[in-house]
Structure 1
């Protein structure tokens, strides 16, 4: 069965500071909550001399939103809170409740891991309250964090990587966030650290030394369980598949996504060129073969990884691309909010941000200006995929059924995503719809592409 793929923008939000991370809350009853983190380097006055010019400061802000995507013609996001912080390099929600509250972890340029709990107000809105923080050490930036709870693990721990090349594993107690162990893992910046969600004593790390490493916390940190140089540039993204044991996705500045079987880290299962440095990778919350990639200079892509996971040594197929950001594609996440399978109508009123929407020739058009670029293009071809103006329209083609279960052959899939880009300081909320290809009726005229 052929399928149609369609992406559609729901809202664009100006974060004012450079946006680099977005995270939907994974707790079911709070899946309407979205957090976005920003990073801004503030340089001294250009008139200052090198001798008396102060060191540049790094500031940030975390935004909190409530999302209701079911209301037609109304932007789905409502900002509920903003908190000024040190510059934020990474945000991650804990996958389970802690003391009956959702908790958001933050990796900051001040070298701290900060934890915020999500509280409900009497007005029914949610807000973040600073709960705990701990420093990783002097003269370093916290670059990433991951929770051990990807599959509901009750032993809640955090792993973080930093600019000194070190990894830190932290244990969360009732009133403390304590470093359990810290070690030098990479020669330069350790861009990313992540747990194996199937065996949380296993930690993976990637660094600017182009190395991907594995660590078994039961064996100590004196030497890694493996070191891979399969990536040819810095390794900056790692995500353990929460649905399929042993499956790991990694991304690098070398513009490739690699899938691995953790039992054999000598050779990857597949290699997929995505045309941009892969800053973040996110497995779908329920569909084990779908992977969202933030590809820095080449936008955002949804990959179908079934053949690779099954060992067929094939690149992952790009099912959909979202190309409407003007700047470095950094943050990306799937929402767990349910959506109706029917594709919503195009908005008729402009969202309450600096963007305009109009209809032209059957295409939704979007345009806005930013400090770095301007954008004015038709968004969709006949299959509902976004295209730049300078590209010729592809011929109509069918894409394969992305699901392996015969029971799903006639079902549609609708997903909500949030993505953000750096220098144009924009966050987008958009949806992706898969639907079975309609059979052309004999009496209908065939339209040319």
Structure 2
């Protein structure tokens, strides 16, 4: 079967132009390639959308156009992007072919009549008669539910262990399908340990859902993944035939600093083999220009000329000290980049940090710290040290009585008693 695999469309108010242009071009190409089915492996929306929003209308129109050509399967993605229930409306579009929303763990058969037949439970016990393809669907796992059951500290390990058991549990049905000449496909949304993010960062940690070995253990020929915005794939030859795992990546370029092409995957899936190819979409072009200090306008002019900023989305970054923050001429930078489709200026300000008493924290005693402070402040520490000794040796009541008794009388002029009964001493607390 020839299957079009789309992922991470991220339709939203801010991403609508990029998402709709790229997804529309991808659908045009998929129809031209005469694909027999289409899979959207999660994150069709960037956030929860209201029905009256332009992004909702455009996404529904594009999915309807795709479903007029072939059956479409949509998988539940990340809950923060696709709140539960978001995809339900797409099953009601009424296109020429059905749209199936996979929001639970299940297997779905694509019948010879072009209908989707979901399993009653988590898998089929036998391959449905007339099946043209068998799809194993594992949508986003709700980690909060797992954490509430086993505890937050154990949640990551529990998810990995249960997904490994689950995927191995699908293998018997997939073997039956392969024996009957039915192509087998797994569709999921999550992170593979060791995969690369769209910014080239290896995804290494204990909270990632899958390993390639776990995904291969389901014994499907193709594994169509979503969530990571960078296209990448893994292949192996095994007793299950030629197997391939692949991320389609995001349909467009939604962030600065994402290298490589954006697009969708065109799959050829057979009972014993699976191959895929990335078909690029007209994603926007982004340029990053970074300065360690104040932006150099001449260097910026040269960079703009060498990269060709016409129609590109340009981000300029710089790092300056707090006292130089107003020396950056943002207006001049904007004028130099006037031909860009969008200009984003990001300045990082390094605050001035003054050490009030460097080295004081390394001294052992409080008295030594007072002497160090007095040395830096150019004052006589004797008075403060006397007060410190008094606090260490005397009770608070004794110190107060000593002060009130007149022992702290200074050489200041005496004050007259307001009642006319003579003079009263002028008291002064010298050190507090």
TM-score by length of 1: 0.28
Bigger Rg over Cα: 2
Higher relative contact order (CA 8 A, sep 6+): 1
TM-score by length of 2: 0.29
Which one has a larger percent strand, Structure 1 or Structure 2? 1
Which one has a larger percent helix, Structure 1 or Structure 2? 2
